[in-house]
Amino acid sequence: MTTPIAPESQRHPPQTVLVLQGGGALGAYQWGVYEGLHEAGIEPDWVIGTSIGAINAALIAGNLPHQRLERMEAFWERVTHRGPSSWWAHLAPDWARSQQKLEVVFGGLAGFFQPNWMSWGGDQRALGSEHAAFYSTQALRHTLEGLLDTRLLAQGPTRLTVGAVNARTGQMRYFDNQREALGLDAVMASGALAPAFGAVRIDGEPYWDGGLYSNSPIEVVLDDQPRRDALIFSAHLWRAEGAEPQSLAAVHERLKDVQFASRADSHIERQRQLHHLRHTIHELMDHLPAGKREHATLREHAAYGCDSVVHVVKLHAARLPCDDVGKDGDFSPTTVKLRHQAGLATVRAALSSQPWRRTRKLAEGLCVHEIEPVLS
């Protein structure tokens, strides 16, 4: 059952929220999204993420506004792959991209992860949940320690929420620096995508990547109490809709897109229906005589209504010509740069049109705006 909201007199001011999905190398798009907001003077009050989205969110919330872009750029510079294949990128780009993925699979990614040789002893060898993985992410921890202010991360003025799944219970946990002192372990746990990366232990429990449960955790905002007017920028790295696949490779790519994209749309649709109902309750109460509104039962019912307005701006990432089933592992310099530029161009287009300022229906409490991808 929905929890009643606070009375209208206790409503909080509007908030700007940035929601960041998981998607590995696709997260370079989120760097561009934030840059576009930053150059327009928009700093989010609340950043929410899973997986690579949690890492980008931490780079935002864990730094002062004037440092954020510099730190994000430094992170993506460190994790961009520059192996032997990069020497041939201009001469044979398709071959170089294929070779780059092999180099990452077998050699890891500087500043991010390295092969875990302990796992080479066979898949039945008991290593413990923290080490039962193909790679070690100690390099990522070291990278983030140098790019984050842990005091801001823990209890900074910018609200930060990251999601991780309990590897034992299968339940999602959202770590929130407004409710607890959020540490680097929570960020690492949100990006611990098994079986590539091992679980991260927090409060005695092992946690995996939150994208396994909800890759676009927009429901965190929509279920938050008390309800507030909100402008939510949601960077969508995966597309639920796409062309009918004609090959096995295309089937594998579409499966990934559907798996990581579809839940966000269903969450938004459910919340749209609930918010319409809340607005209807609020309007009905306004039509009751003043004396009736003071009845104890009706006051209780009225608490389920609200007149807050939420705008969800879905910033769809562009599909690049080089995209395939391994696109989330493509950390090559050219592709990282293209995704960053696409994020920046798409946000600029959204801020230019500002569809959230258009007239809406009175009972429309949750408005969704689809921003189609833009390539720079």
CB atoms within 10 A of CB 143: 19
User: What pLDDT digit, counting tens, does each position of 208-225 carry?
Assistant: 998 888 777 888 888 887
Q: What is the 3-state secondary structure (H, E, C) of the chain?
A: CCCCCCCHHHCCCCEEEEEECCCHHHHHHHHHHHHHHHHCCCCCCEEEECCHHHHHHHHHHCCCHHHHHHHHHHHHHHHCCCCHHHHHCCCCHHHHHHHHHHHHHHHCECCCEEECHHHHHCCCCCCCCCCCCCEECHHHHHHHHCCCCHHHHHHCCCEEEEEEEECCCCCEEEEECCCCCCCHHHHHHHCCCCCCECCEEECCEEEEEHHHCCCCCCHHHHCCCCCCCEEEEEEECCCCCCCCCCCHHHHHHHHHHHHHHHHHHHHHHHHHHHHHHHHHHHHHHHCCCHHHHCCHHHHHHHCCCCCCCEEEEEEECCCCCCCCCCHHHCCCHHHHHHHHHHHHHHHHHHHHHCHHHCCCCCCCCEEEEEECCCCC
**Residue among 22, 28, 15, 47 nearest 182 (CA):** 47
Highest mean pLDDT among 77-81, 266-270, 293-297: 77-81
> According to the model, what pLDDT value does residue 156 have?
86
Evaluate if residue 66 carries a pLDDT over 70.
yes
- pTM of the full structure: 0.89
Overall average pLDDT of the 295-312 stretch:
75
The residues near 286 (Cβ < 8 Å, ≥ 6 apart) are none
Compare 284 and 36 and report the one with higher pLDDT: 36
Q: For residues 205 and 86, what is the distance between their CA atoms, to the nearest angstrom?
A: 40
Please report which confidence band the pLDDT of residue 71 belongs to, taking 50, 70 and 90 as the band edges. Answer: very high
Q: In whole angstroms, what separates CA 367 from the centre of its chain?
A: 20
pLDDT in tens, 90-128: 777 777 777 888 888 889 999 999 999 888 877 777 778
pLDDT exceeds 90 at position 265: no
pLDDT for position 11: 54
Q: Is the pLDDT of residue 3 over 70?
A: no
- Confidence grade of residue 293 (pLDDT, cut at 50, 70, 90): low
Residue 316 has pLDDT above 80, yes or no: yes
Residue 45 Cα distances to 29, 90, 114, 125, 241, angstroms: 20, 41, 35, 45, 31
> Which amino acid makes up residue 114?
Q
**Residue closest to 238 by CA, chosen among 319, 167, 118:** 319
